[in-house]
Chains A and B, each alone.
Chain A
């Protein structure tokens, strides 16, 4: 992960309006994000929290009500930068009357790729997403998972530097899910930047470098997965084959040093817990919450002084 910023949003805000221009939903509130080259960034949040809206804003499919977004330091309305971007929409909205091969050729021709290279990539991608057997069938005959796979293939047709995946694993079987996960990790190895949204927390926890948690359009948490999941005031001691006596002794030592509420349970702190906690807190105290990275930045500023 380098420090080159690939995506930057400043005060990004989106209010959905009705026909008369009256505000209907505030889907995103003043989002500030910086995503760096080579990281896997996860957008988390409950349903309707603004994940898809964020991605659509980044792609210029929606225009921000306020603030701005830059990708590769370019405004989102600049079409040329799309040459380096791959996008998998929330549902695979594809042309049902094309077959898999035609679909990939159609999208491939939109990029500056030679015909020979395109043919090669199409064959490779169809193979990669495991659709070789069905490549001549029209997409209207595809199952949901198959459509998801071809959707993923079209997002990779231009060998993009930045890949935006909106719930990539929805509709996939466990094997498919793990295949996609390893595919995403592979892409990172090649230096790609990946932004994914989703609510399958276990999957996100496995692969994301950093995550942002959104709730009702507000950024509630942002930081490294490892940092967020480390509970600072809890110390875990793990050991094998301890006798009850030994445990009692250790408890004694801890008590002597002022430790309290000691538990000998197996550790269960997961992204899921974090997520649930944040959502609960947000329901109780709506409004902007100081995210982990803010705190880290504050500390860094303090340290500099």
Chain B
């Protein structure tokens, strides 16, 4: 999800207002009839650029809003460019002077604002408003007038009826948005979402400004619809055979002109041949992780570099060498030129990926698995020679290696705490320790009733705000994956389930004034289920008896000295019950000075099935710091649980604290195949390549190849390395100001926190920053979040990549690739390929 969740964040900076909160549960304040509330919510959801819901639909909506806004901007800019190029505007009429005035006024007004903020000039106020606000307003007005006239005239002269319709639609949207803003203000909705107290009044002007913000989104929708219609029209004409044909062409081009796959493959093999020279794991147990990480990084680098070079070169050479003439004079759609290329390159990436994946796996097999086997052999040998500490160490090492070479499916619960008095909390104690982990950890105190409780099943969100209805979280355990068919526990599970059904039916019967037909229906169900229950009970008993028999026989055989037979019989018995549940935990320990350093801290694990009330008291164990503790829970805990379970951890050592976050404890499903998981990890790289292909081909539609190449490289680097930075940047959350101010700090060795003395240079830098920052932050909308697509870290850590994650990532990749490719189509359609 992370990828989608970043989008609303990005969007949030588009407006200066505080992040909007959902207006849930606050309806009574509004003075409108309640049947209007849903419509109101929809208006707000669709119009407010910063507000979104926290699910896939919300992600889509955010995407739509971002794309729409970009469409609007592109629409305005393209008409302005056409107007200037076709000499409709920019010919020295009065409105052109207004445009020039606006251009000149912008830096002046920003400069005034900066001077004001660094106290170089006093704050002048005219009629209660800052002077700088007036200059800014004048600027905006001048721009508006010029843009309005320029676009109006250009469309009047060169536009087609549809363009005129869009122009009218955009204006209607503007009016609609402003009206909506004022209405929202009038009915008190704005006061609600802006979190204003009862005494604070939101003025009509604020309502109007808010309306303008909303109308930006609505105007975007209009242009988006116009563009979508055009794209759908084009889509209608797209044919598979032509896509295939152009795909084959790109494939041949990559192969025969660029030799790309061969180069890439050679580099891959060369690097692989020397890998073990320069890859030295810091700890023996880290070897698998390091190798897997390195190999997937190598795949990723080679493939993305290949795409970065191939994709942006293709169309420009085609146009430059004029080979495109023969193609576009055939019934080839412009979109087919783009998608066909993407298809060809992605086919190439797919083949290379399979080859790389196969070779990598073979290589891992040869290195890591051999290491595991030798380590295990060494451990065995050490044990035989009675070097027990060493044997234990080696076994542990082999164990760690093996863990990483799996595809573990963690089942996560929801974490809540009990404090030392036993009252529940969403968080434990904050010991003020460094919180550089993925999630903030909170702590429980040793030898007190305080506990960390992981709940599974459908559980209330512990972070629900007090006074609000709890939001249910679905953290159910997939019981059927743990309790195997035909085992004692599985039979027990069915017994419980049926018993509960019968109880529920009996309960239903006690209800007053039930119709007779319903009563007889329930009676029938109860008798039927009772019979079935008896049968299941018998089955369960017989299974248990068989298991007990096997165990008894085994014990007898053991006594008689038939060890092999005893083992065999014991195995038969274990086959009848489901394997234990594996729990993995990684806690950290916060030592107060009262404790002794070096002495282990102990913890205790208990588990309860909340539906049957059966409880398991686990062992007390020493917490391994920086390593993973494992515990086993008996499978019968899950019988009748319907996916619910509660696991409690207590710290046993007095005055010591145990720190944990939600993801620090999980149940493990039976692991999946590592090789398959590795390929799923590579799929993330495939998605990256797809986005990059779309960007490269799109850049090639209007740039010459060197520029297109640079653009693609920029996008890749920005998305891969600097995405988080860009997000911070666009939210103006970077310390030390914008690029120019930072430059000054760099030169003058000033730290990032201090206020710079407002010299002329500093003022200039701040002014430039204020002009550049908004433009730069636009880039954030365009740069794809490549890192979100990369899941190879999960693979290297030995966790399974879930299908859900892959689905979400695919959507995220498409959310970038589709708009880029369609933008390429629109550009290609509107340019002369022979000019």
Report which A residues bind B (CB closer than 8 A).
Answer: 16-17, 20-21, 56, 59-63, 79-83, 85, 87, 89, 91, 93-98, 102, 106-107, 109-112, 138, 151, 154, 158
Bound form: Cα–Cα A208–B329 in Å: 24
Please determine whether A85 and B329 come into contact, CB atoms closer than 8 angstroms.
Answer: yes
A61-B327 CB under 8 A given contacts A95-B249, A106-B245, A109-B244 = no
Please determine whether A61 and B833 come into contact, CB atoms closer than 8 angstroms.
Answer: yes
A97-B252 CB under 8 A given contacts A61-B325, A109-B244, A109-B245 = yes
A110-B325 CB under 8 A given contacts A97-B253, A98-B252 = no
Task: Known pairs A62-B835, A98-B252; list 19 more (Cβ under 8 Å).
Answer: A17-B85, A21-B87, A56-B325, A59-B329, A61-B329, A62-B832, A62-B834, A79-B333, A81-B331, A82-B330, A87-B329, A94-B326, A97-B256, A97-B257, A107-B326, A109-B244, A110-B330, A110-B331, A110-B332
Q: Mark B251-286, 1 if CB is under 8 A from A, else 0.
A: 011001100000000000000000000000000000
What is the distance, in angstroms, from A13's C-beta to the closest C-beta of chain B?
14
User: Would you call B323 an interface residue if the criterion is a C-beta within 8 Å of the partner chain's C-beta atoms?
Assistant: yes
User: Would you call B248 an interface residue if the criterion is a C-beta within 8 Å of the partner chain's C-beta atoms?
Assistant: yes
The 8 A-B pairs with the shortest beta carbon distances in the complex, nearest first, are A109-B245, A61-B834, A21-B85, A97-B256, A93-B322, A110-B330, A87-B329, A82-B331
Please determine whether A21 and B84 come into contact, CB atoms closer than 8 angstroms.
Answer: yes
Bound form: Cα–Cα A109–B249 in Å: 11
Please determine whether B86 and A87 come into contact, CB atoms closer than 8 angstroms.
Answer: no
The chain B residue with its CB closest to the CB of A108 is B245
Q: Mark B225-242, 1 if CB is under 8 A from A, else 0.
A: 000000000000101011
Please determine whether B331 and A87 come into contact, CB atoms closer than 8 angstroms.
Answer: no
User: Would you call B775 an interface residue if the criterion is a C-beta within 8 Å of the partner chain's C-beta atoms?
Assistant: no
Residues from chain A with Cβ under 8 Å of B327 in the complex:
107, 110
What is the distance, in angstroms, from B337's C-beta to the closest C-beta of chain A?
11
What is the distance, in angstroms, from B83's C-beta to the closest C-beta of chain A?
10
User: Would you call B321 an interface residue if the criterion is a C-beta within 8 Å of the partner chain's C-beta atoms?
Assistant: yes
What is the distance, in angstroms, from B80's C-beta to the closest C-beta of chain A?
13
User: Would you call B805 an interface residue if the criterion is a C-beta within 8 Å of the partner chain's C-beta atoms?
Assistant: no
Residues from chain A with Cβ under 8 Å of B328 in the complex:
59-61
What is the distance, in angstroms, from A16's C-beta to the closest C-beta of chain B?
7
18 A-B residue pairs with CB within 8 Å? A21-B86, A21-B87, A56-B834, A60-B328, A62-B832, A62-B835, A79-B333, A87-B326, A87-B329, A89-B325, A89-B326, A93-B326, A95-B323, A97-B253, A98-B249, A107-B326, A111-B330, A151-B326
The chain A residue with its CB closest to the CB of B86 is A21
What is the distance, in angstroms, from A251's C-beta to the closest C-beta of chain B?
58
The chain A residue with its CB closest to the CB of B832 is A62
What is the distance, in angstroms, from A151's C-beta to the closest C-beta of chain B?
8
Bound form: Cα–Cα A264–B833 in Å: 55
Please determine whether B248 and A106 come into contact, CB atoms closer than 8 angstroms.
Answer: yes
The chain A residue with its CB closest to the CB of B241 is A109
Residues from chain B with Cβ under 8 Å of A63 in the complex:
832
Please determine whether B245 and A110 come into contact, CB atoms closer than 8 angstroms.
Answer: yes
Q: Mark B644-680, 1 if CB is under 8 A from A, else 0.
A: 0000000000000000000000000000000000000
The chain B residue with its CB closest to the CB of A59 is B329
The chain B residue with its CB closest to the CB of A53 is B834
Residues from chain A with Cβ under 8 Å of B242 in the complex:
109-110
Q: Mark B316-343, 1 if CB is under 8 A from A, else 0.
A: 0000011101111111110000000000
Bound form: Cα–Cα A63–B158 in Å: 13
Bound form: Cα–Cα A80–B672 in Å: 51
Residues from chain B with Cβ under 8 Å of A96 in the complex:
257
Residues from chain A with Cβ under 8 Å of B833 in the complex:
61
Residues from chain B with Cβ under 8 Å of A21 in the complex:
84-87
Please determine whether B252 and A61 come into contact, CB atoms closer than 8 angstroms.
Answer: no
Bound form: Cα–Cα A60–B248 in Å: 25
How many residue pairs, one in A and one in B, have C-beta atoms under 8 Å apart?
A: 88
Bound form: Cα–Cα A226–B767 in Å: 75
Bound form: Cα–Cα A94–B252 in Å: 14
What is the distance, in angstroms, from A93's C-beta to the closest C-beta of chain B?
4
Bound form: Cα–Cα A158–B329 in Å: 12
Within B291-331, the residues touching A (CB, 8 Å) are: 321-323, 325-331
Bound form: Cα–Cα A83–B242 in Å: 13
The chain B residue with its CB closest to the CB of A57 is B834
Residues from chain B with Cβ under 8 Å of A93 in the complex:
321-323, 325-326
What is the distance, in angstroms, from A166's C-beta to the closest C-beta of chain B?
10
Bound form: Cα–Cα A70–B242 in Å: 25
A79-B237 CB under 8 A given contacts A21-B84, A61-B832, A95-B249 = yes
- Indicate which residue in A20, A56, A62, A83 contacts B331 across the interface (CB closer than 8 Å): A83
Bound form: Cα–Cα A98–B832 in Å: 26
Bound form: Cα–Cα A158–B239 in Å: 17
- Indicate which residue in A16, A111, A112, A154 contacts B326 across the interface (CB closer than 8 Å): A154
Please determine whether A107 and B325 come into contact, CB atoms closer than 8 angstroms.
Answer: no
Most chain B CB within a 10 A radius of its CB, from A16, A82, A106, A110:
A110
The chain B residue with its CB closest to the CB of A78 is B331
The chain A residue with its CB closest to the CB of B834 is A61
The chain A residue with its CB closest to the CB of B835 is A62
The chain A residue with its CB closest to the CB of B248 is A106
- Indicate which residue in B253, B332, B834 contacts A95 across the interface (CB closer than 8 Å): B253
Residues from chain B with Cβ under 8 Å of A154 in the complex:
326
Bound form: Cα–Cα A83–B330 in Å: 6
Residues from chain A with Cβ under 8 Å of B252 in the complex:
95, 97-98, 102
Bound form: Cα–Cα A202–B322 in Å: 29
What is the distance, in angstroms, from A140's C-beta to the closest C-beta of chain B?
9
Residues from chain A with Cβ under 8 Å of B323 in the complex:
93-95
The chain B residue with its CB closest to the CB of A56 is B834
Residues from chain B with Cβ under 8 Å of A56 in the complex:
325, 834
What is the distance, in angstroms, from B389's C-beta to the closest C-beta of chain A?
65
Q: Mark B809-835, 1 if CB is under 8 A from A, else 0.
A: 000000000000000000000001111
Residues from chain B with Cβ under 8 Å of A59 in the complex:
325, 328-329
What is the distance, in angstroms, from A305's C-beta to the closest C-beta of chain B?
40
Residues from chain A with Cβ under 8 Å of B832 in the complex:
61-63
Bound form: Cα–Cα A215–B304 in Å: 52
Please determine whether A79 and B241 come into contact, CB atoms closer than 8 angstroms.
Answer: no
Bound form: Cα–Cα A95–B333 in Å: 19
What is the distance, in angstroms, from B490's C-beta to the closest C-beta of chain A?
55
Residues from chain A with Cβ under 8 Å of B332 in the complex:
79, 82, 110
The chain A residue with its CB closest to the CB of B239 is A112
Residues from chain A with Cβ under 8 Å of B84 in the complex:
21
Bound form: Cα–Cα A102–B87 in Å: 46
Most chain A CB within a 10 A radius of its CB, from B241, B331, B832:
B331
Please determine whether B834 and A107 come into contact, CB atoms closer than 8 angstroms.
Answer: no
What is the distance, in angstroms, from B97's C-beta to the closest C-beta of chain A?
20
What is the distance, in angstroms, from B569's C-beta to the closest C-beta of chain A?
66
Residues from chain B with Cβ under 8 Å of A107 in the complex:
326-327, 330
Residues from chain B with Cβ under 8 Å of A61 in the complex:
325, 328-329, 832-834
Residues from chain A with Cβ under 8 Å of B257 in the complex:
96-97
What is the distance, in angstroms, from A271's C-beta to the closest C-beta of chain B?
28
The chain A residue with its CB closest to the CB of B330 is A110
- Indicate which residue in A16, A60, A89, A111 contacts B835 across the interface (CB closer than 8 Å): A16
Bound form: Cα–Cα A56–B325 in Å: 9
Please determine whether B322 and A80 come into contact, CB atoms closer than 8 angstroms.
Answer: no
Within B77-136, the residues touching A (CB, 8 Å) are: 84-87
Please determine whether B331 and A80 come into contact, CB atoms closer than 8 angstroms.
Answer: yes
